[in-house]
Structure formats: structure tokens, C-alpha cells
Amino acid sequence: MTRRRSTLKVDKGEANKNATVEKEQADPFSNVVKAGECPKLSPKSQDLLSYQIALNAEDKDLYVRISGNSGGGLFSRNWLKLEDIFTLLDKQKDKVISSSILKEVMGSGSANNCGFMSGILREIKLLEQSPKGIFSHQLTPKYENVKVELRKLSGNTKTQSDNKPDVASEPSK
């Protein structure tokens, strides 16, 4: 049996053009600033979920996603803006919530997404188990401090109230 050698001819100008296109399409989520693992919510499961928090290169906001599952269960790897999660959770102070509340920011996808993301939000100390049950949540006492610490990962140390216009500094008519 004889082997045939083949040579691929590449136009260098075309190769450079393709390299430029690949640079322009770089992953805006390549700057992962925090990653970790957490248990699933069910006490019957020994499986772990993996998550990532990344700084988006385009809008400079932080995003979180479910990045892995050591056991069974489908999930979506969509990036979710942390500020959208903060806005949703800010409305839940002093309330007991279920994982399904996260549908508002998660959109459509696997039925597991909301439960898995709730486990991640517990791991990063935004949520904790409610006394009402293992699948119920409430904001942690350190919720506001955790938000500040997470925002520091992006260099954004402003609070929501800092982003509101200062009425006193507006010119009077």
C-alpha cells in the first residue's frame, strides 16, 4: 500500500483575511472572573453543578451561566446578565420564593435551568434555603454585600441607588 502526500495550497492574503474575521468574532465571555461548583438542591443527589461568572468584553457587564452538570439533567448554557438577576431579586426582599421566579431572566429552555441556577445563587450567597422548605429560597442577610463584591469583579462599585439621577443637582426652573 502506498501513501499519497497531498499539499494544501493556501493563499496567504485569504488566510490573513480569515484570521481577521476570527479576531472580530472573539468570544465576548472569554474573561471568566469566577468559576465554581455547587450541589444540586435535592438532598437525594450527590451531583455537582459547575458555573462561571464572566465579564463581557462588549458591554463590560457581568454574566453568569450554568457550565456543567456532573450527573443527569439537561440545562442551557446561556449567559445571564447579573444585573438582571439583581433587579429581579431586589423585588423579592422579605419574601419566600421558588426557583421558577427565575424564568423571567432565564427565558425558555430546559425545565432544570431555574432550579440549577437557584443552586448557583445559593452557592454565591445571594439566596439561601427558606425555613419553608428545601426548594424555597429567600435573600441572604448578606445579599447587598454580596452584590457589591460581585460588582467589584467588573470594576463597577456603584449601587443601584448610585445609578439614579440626583434630583437635588438638577437645575431648577
For residue 89, is it within any domain?
yes
For residue 112, is it within any domain?
yes
* pLDDT at position 72: 84
pTM, rounded to two decimals: 0.76
Per the structure, the count of domains in the chain is 1
For residue 41, is it within any domain?
yes
Report DSSP letters for the chain, one per residue: -----------HHHHHHHHHHHHHT--TT-EEEEEEEEE-S-TT---EEEEEEEE-TTT--EEEEEEEESSS-------EEHHHHHHHHHTTTT--EEGGGGHHHH-SS-TTHHHHHHHHHHHTTSEEEETTEEEEEEE-TTHHHHHHHHHHTTT----GGGGS--GGGSPP-
For residue 165, is it within any domain?
no
Q: Is the pLDDT of residue 153 over 70?
A: yes
Give the Cα separation of 142 and 125 in Å (integer).
Answer: 7
Q: What pLDDT digit, counting tens, does each position of 115-150 carry?
A: 999 999 999 999 999 999 999 999 999 999 999 999
User: What is the rounded average pLDDT of the residues 27-44?
Assistant: 92
For residue 46, is it within any domain?
yes
For residue 9, is it within any domain?
no
For residue 6, is it within any domain?
no
Q: What pLDDT digit, counting tens, does each position of 65-77 carry?
A: 999 999 988 999 9
Full residue range of the structural domain in which residue 114 is found: 31-156
